[in-house]
């Protein structure tokens, strides 16, 4: 069992949702993880595990409001290397080695050679359990999206006694390869972000717009003040160092094969995937459904990799039914 050191800073504020929240930090050894507990304290806890580069503020309001309004207690957090959580120092990413590290990582990815990251998805799963332990939550619903779904698979497999239900959205049970990974256009944008971690505010916003245009709902309007404000908030909150994005990619590409772990998952599982997902192809969802014995699969035509309101409205009743039984 890993040892956890806890340190808490509580901030009470009012969310855009229907309740106050509590924010704080928890330490998993020397790694600081920022979290937000939306409450209410009497609600059934549900831990939401974010995807690549995503912060706790990036979970959509319509999802958080839906959970709170239906009696659940959403708990969200910044994965290590993003948001207010710790940046993982590594000589691989100092000024002299960064470009070499990034280039060699992608070469090894295409040649399917071993990648040795500063940490792996198992370490990130332990960060999640540290939050539940700190909040004295014995058992929680678990929802993971994209990379967060990969982390959540490990949590569900390693800690079955802690999980009420498991929801897997737009994720994969295998390490991405050139055959089951992102489309070429998406891959180019991910590589561009990796190679330019010191981009300006305007460059980062424009880059975000391009990636969300590719992986989000076709025709969804991103030329809004809300999208701009959210992008600025995310960039300012995370600070100028964006190298954690590439370290998270390395954690995905360098993690161990999860097939045996996934097959061992016993929790009731709902798998939701977009038929047109360009980041994680839909065949990954069919594979997860075959591997997890007690699972239900929903494939949504027109859905890509995001859960915009029109997409969420198509599966929210199924999600509530899954969480409630």
Q: What is the pLDDT of residue 93?
A: 67
Which residues have CB under 8 Å from 96's CB, separation 6+? none
Q: Which residues pair with 300 in a beta bridge?
A: 274
CA atoms within 13 A on the CB side of 226: 5
Contact indicator for 106, 176 with CB cutoff of 8 Å: no
Instruction: Classify strands 163-169 and 268-274 as parallel, antiparallel or unpaired.
Output: parallel
> Which pLDDT belongs to residue 8?
42
Q: How far is CA 266 from CA 128, 166, 228, 262, 320, in A?
A: 19, 9, 41, 9, 20
pLDDT, residue 102, reads 73
Low-confidence ranges of the chain (pLDDT < 70): 1-19, 91, 93-96, 98-99, 177-180, 194-197
Question: pLDDT digit string (tens) for 43-66?
Answer: 999 999 999 999 999 999 999 999
Could you tell me which CATH class the domain 11-324 is placed in?
Answer: alpha beta
The tokens for 304 are: 């890509």
Output the pLDDT for position 171: 96
Rounded CA gap, 185 and 195, in Å?
A: 16
Both tokens of residue 140? 């929680």
> Looking at residue 80, what is its pLDDT?
97
**pTM of this structure:** 0.90
The residues, ordered by sequence, that sit 6+ positions from 139 with a Cβ below 8 Å of its Cβ are 45, 161, 162, 163, 164
Q: What is the pLDDT of residues 62-78, one digit of tens each?
A: 999 999 999 999 999 99
pLDDT at 15: 40
**Extents of the domains making up the chain:** 11-324
pLDDT at res. 7: 40
């Amino acid at each position: 069992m890993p040892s956890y050191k806890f340190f808490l800073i509580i901030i009470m504020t009012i969310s855009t949702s229907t309740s106050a929240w509590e924010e704080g930090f928890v330490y998993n050894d020397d790694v600081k993880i920022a979290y937000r507990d939306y409450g209410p304290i009497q609600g059934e806890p549900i831990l939401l595990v974010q995807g690549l580069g995503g912060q706790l503020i990036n979970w959509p309001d319509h999802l958080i409001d839906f959970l709170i309004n239906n009696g659940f207690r959403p708990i969200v957090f910044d994965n290590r290397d993003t948001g207010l959580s710790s940046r993982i120092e590594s000589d691989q990413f100092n000024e002299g080695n960064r470009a070499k590290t990034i280039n060699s990582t992608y070469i090894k990815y295409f040649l399917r050679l071993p990648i040795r990251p500063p940490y792996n998805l198992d370490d990130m799963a332990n960060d999640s359990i540290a939050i539940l332990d700190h909040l004295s939550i014995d058992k929680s619903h678990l929802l993971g999206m994209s990379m967060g779904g990969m982390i959540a698979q490990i949590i569900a497999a390693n800690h079955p006694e802690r999980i009420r239900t498991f929801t897997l959205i737009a994720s994969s049970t295998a390490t991405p390869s050139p055959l089951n990974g992102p489309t070429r256009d998406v891959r180019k944008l991910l590589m561009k972000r990796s190679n330019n971690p010191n981009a300006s505010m305007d460059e980062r916003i424009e880059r975000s717009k391009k990636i969300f245009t590719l992986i989000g709902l076709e025709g969804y309007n991103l030329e809004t003040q809300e999208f701009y404000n959210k992008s600025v908030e995310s960039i300012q909150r995370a600070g100028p160092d964006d190298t954690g994005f590439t370290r998270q990619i390395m954690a995905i590409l360098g993690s161990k094969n999860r097939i045996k772990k996934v097959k061992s998952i016993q929790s009731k599982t709902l798998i939701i995937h977009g038929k047109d997902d360009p980041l994680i192809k839909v065949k990954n969802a069919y594979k997860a459904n075959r591997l997890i014995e007690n699972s239900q699969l929903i494939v949504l035509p027109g859905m890509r990799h995001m859960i915009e309101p029109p997409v969420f409205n198509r599966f929210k009743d199924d999600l509530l039914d899954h969480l409630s039984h």
